[in-house]
Amino acid sequence: MDYGALGVVLTIIVIVVVFSFLRGRGGVAHRPEVIQFLLYDVKLNQVLVDTFHQREKPRRLEKTNWEINKSKINFLGESLKETLKLTFDMVEEVNQDIKMTKKNKSLSYQDINVTRLKEPLTKCREGLEEWLMDAIGTTEVSPRYPSISGFLFGER
């Protein structure tokens, strides 16, 4: 039996196991990115609300990043979490109104009350930007580039 080859195989297995335990599992490193994604939805929705009645066919409000990341915001304060939840519930209601107006041609887009979203969206934006300022010192998250170990062993 070749003990040299067995030693190399065992060494590689140990290295892979060590790297899998040492790499990040989300946690603090991904928090700014989660907040940045939510902030993107909030900013886009603010623009959509401001221009809603100027459009011939209004666009539905954005909530994709909220749906993806709402389970990952446990580190935020309770008031901000509640504000985000209520705001995106209102976004869903407005989207339902838009959908109903598209189906029912007798209804008008002008009847949809989107101005009620202005204050909650502003509170969400201020809260998320404040969290980013406190956590990383800026409201813009720099793009992450993969490291060599991340390329070889995968990053989460």
User: Does 11 have pLDDT greater than 50?
Assistant: yes
pLDDT digits (tens, 9 = 90+) for 112-137: 889 999 999 999 999 999 998 888 77
pLDDT of residue 26: 47
pLDDT digits (tens, 9 = 90+) for 37-81: 999 999 999 999 999 988 888 889 999 999 999 999 999 999 999
Q: How many domains does the chain have?
A: 1
Domain assignment present for residue 101? The answer is yes
Select from 148, 150, 135, 152 the least CA-distant residue to 34.
135
Select from 54, 32, 24, 47 the least CA-distant residue to 121.
47
Domain assignment present for residue 133? The answer is yes
Domain assignment present for residue 136? The answer is yes
Query: pLDDT band at 5, cuts 50/70/90?
Result: confident
Domain assignment present for residue 10? The answer is no
Number of residues assigned to the chain: 156
Please state, as a whole number, how many other Cβ atoms lie within 10 Å of the Cβ of residue 114.
22
pLDDT of residue 108: 82
Domain assignment present for residue 71? The answer is yes
Picking from 23-27, 32-36, 43-47, which range would have the lowest pLDDT averaged per residue? 23-27
User: Does 24 have pLDDT greater than 60?
Assistant: no
The mean of the pLDDT values for the chain is 83
Rounded mean pLDDT, 78-87: 95
pLDDT of residue 147: 64
Higher pLDDT, 25 or 91: 91
Residues 6+ apart with CB under 8 A from 27: none
Q: How distant, in Å, are the alpha carbons of 97, 117, 140 from that of 101?
A: 6, 18, 37
Q: Phi/psi at 5 (nearest 5 deg)?
A: -65, -40
Domain residues for the domain of 69 are 27-143
Domain assignment present for residue 46? The answer is yes
Query: Could you tell me the two tokens for 104?
Result: 């029912």
User: Does 27 have pLDDT greater than 50?
Assistant: no
Domain assignment present for residue 45? The answer is yes
Domain assignment present for residue 156? The answer is no
Q: What's the burial of 58, exposed, middle or buried (CB within 10 Å: 0-12/13-18/19+)?
A: buried
